[in-house]
Amino acid sequence: MRGLPAVRPALLALLALLVALAVAAPVAAADTSATADLPSSYIIEDVPLWQQVDAFSCGASAAQMVMDHWGPFVDQNEVRAAARTGRSKAPEVARGTAVPDIARAGQFSFLSESIGEAYGETIWGYSTRTLGYGAFYYGLADGASEDEVLRWLDQLKAIVAAGYPVVCLTDWLPDMYGPHYRVVVGYDDDKGVIYFNDPWVREFRNDFGARGSFAQFKGASSPSTYGYMEWSYEDWLDVWSLPGDDWGQPGYTYNAVLIAPWEVETEAPETVGVGETFEVTATVTYPCLAPFAAGDWPAFPASATTIALSLPDGWSVEGAAEAAIGVLQAGASAEATFTVTAGADAGDFALGVTGSGLVSGSLEERAQFPAYDYADLIGGSGAVTIAVAD
């Protein structure tokens, strides 16, 4: 029987309120899975390059790179705790990080507690942010044809070309077994290569040989300094074909994890008058670019979804400042319109919008770590600045 990590008593009322909110129909999102008309090359800029803090933390480091690309810095040790990263080669003790646990680390929020032991203490969400991100994991079933594998590569390129770095489970080298996580950040069809960040020291190279420290805070760690690693499509597909049997994905190869916050777009007048009433429309999108096979992967629908508006002091909103959306499916969008009245002061003012919803998941037993269920609040935030004129 699975265990559910304890939920803070003070949060029970919040959970009950969220579940009780009225349901509104979501707006369908555009299809982002098509691979036609891809650019011949693409590189996602500003994906940070962090080195894993020990020999078993490549998965946690890869997840950290992606999360730090999207938002505030997250300590790799906290990621290891959320992802149940094991630190031993003993068979009875977990080593490294399973694929589903990396997705769970992406979703980790203040609503749930960590189960891993790497951090040395239980934590409730990351110390630098309260909301989790959307996260999904997927893979290609064993025995896939060459055409299916090439389509899988095209799907990876399509996700990257849409601006999303992807965590991939790979072999150590094309001719050397050794499970290792890397972050795909680009590709080039003309050169026939995949670009990626590697949390191990091989990427920290200069004229003096290997460089880097087994501490995430030390040493230069910028792709602009060291450049991305690049492998041919052939070599990449070779290492990416690592079976996921020991990593939470039995029967699957070409395993990957997508982590991204919800996208928030806000429409409002650029300028209003003092005390003027106007409308603010917020659109929230739950990104889901993973090439799901029917029934294979949890789609993590978000229940009790809300869109909340935060206003400057002295401003007001007609009715509630929070709109109930209900269930928001992965890959869908929803919008809410608020009628707002500006305050009595002139100047530039920022209005914030946060979209959030509840997701739940289950993780299997893994060596010393028991199976457990979890629930987290995921989402994203945005803001718009409005000038108030006298």
| Lowest-confidence pick of 194-198, 279-283, 321-325 | 194-198
Section 30-38 average pLDDT: 58
Does residue 263 carry a pLDDT above 50?
yes
> Distances from the Cα of 131 to the Cαs of 73, 261, 333, 377, in angstroms?
14, 9, 18, 6
pLDDT at 387: 98
pLDDT above 70 coverage of the chain, percent: 79
What are the Cα distances from residue 361, in Å, to 131, 287, 333?
A: 16, 18, 21
Mean per-residue pLDDT over the chain, rounded: 84
pLDDT digits (tens, 9 = 90+) for 57-93: 999 999 999 999 999 999 998 999 999 988 665 565 6
Q: Which CATH superfamily is domain 263-388 in?
A: Immunoglobulins (2.60.40.10)
Query: What average pLDDT score do residues 5-11 get?
Result: 46
Task: State the average pLDDT over residues 285-304.
Answer: 81
CATH of domain 45-260: 3.90.70.10
What is the per-residue pLDDT for 51? 82
CB 53 within 8 A of CB 214: yes
- Residue 222, beta-bridge partner list: none
Ranges of H-type helices in 220-374: 223-226, 233-240
Question: pLDDT value at position 4?
Answer: 45
What mean pLDDT comes out for the span 34-48?
86
Q: What is the pLDDT of residues 348-361, one digit of tens each?
A: 999 999 999 999 99
Query: What is the average pLDDT across 186-211?
Result: 71
pLDDT over threshold 50, residue 12:
no
pLDDT at 354: 99
Strands (E), the chain: 41-43, 86-87, 95-96, 134-141, 166-170, 180-188, 193-197, 205-206, 209-210, 229-232, 252-260, 263-267, 271-273, 277-285, 302-310, 316-317, 322-328, 333-341, 347-363, 372-389
- CA–CA separation, 324 vs 308, rounded Å? 9
Instruction: Give the closest residue to 83 by CA, choosing from 64, 69, 68.
Output: 64
Question: Is pLDDT above 50 for 370?
Answer: yes
How much is the pLDDT for 119?
Answer: 62
- Per domain, the residue ranges of the chain are 45-260, 263-388
Close Cβ partners of 171 (under 8 Å, ≥ 6 residues apart): 177, 178, 179, 180, 238, 239, 240, 241, 242
Q: What is the mean pLDDT of residues 330-338?
A: 96
**Quick one: what percent of the chain has pLDDT higher than 90?**
66
Amino acid 158 reads: A
Q: Are 346 and 379 in contact (CB under 8 A)?
A: no
